Amino acid sequence: MQYPELGLKVPIFIASGAMDKDTPLRMQQALVSKLCDAGSTVHSVVYKDKAHLNTLSHSINDAMEFVQAARLGKLTDGNCLSARALQ
């Protein structure tokens, strides 16, 4: 999968399910790594026991907290270093 730009000017939240067979965790982690390498602020969360649709429903609260923090200017620098450590 190709993206036109990976150096995003806004922070991004990526929720991944370790049991996801539709979008496997290795693919999600590769995307996170490319975004981080391009200088994007990435907030990546892995839900260890979730598959594709379960991840969506279980990430809603985390995603809403991320959006609220972004709107208030209270986001951290992301978690690229810890996300890379999981690979």
Query: What distance in Å separates the CA atoms of residue 73 and residue 85, rounded to the nearest whole number?
Result: 27
Q: Is 45 exposed, middle or buried (0-12, 13-18, 19+ CB in 10 A)?
A: middle
Q: pLDDT tens across 20-51, in order?
A: 999 999 999 999 999 999 999 999 999 999 99
Give the residue extent of every domain in the chain.
12-85
Under the phi-then-psi rule, with left for phi > 0, alpha for psi from -120 to 50, and beta for the rest, what region is 73? left
**pTM of structure:** 0.85
pLDDT one-digit tens code per residue, 68-81 = 999 998 987 889 87
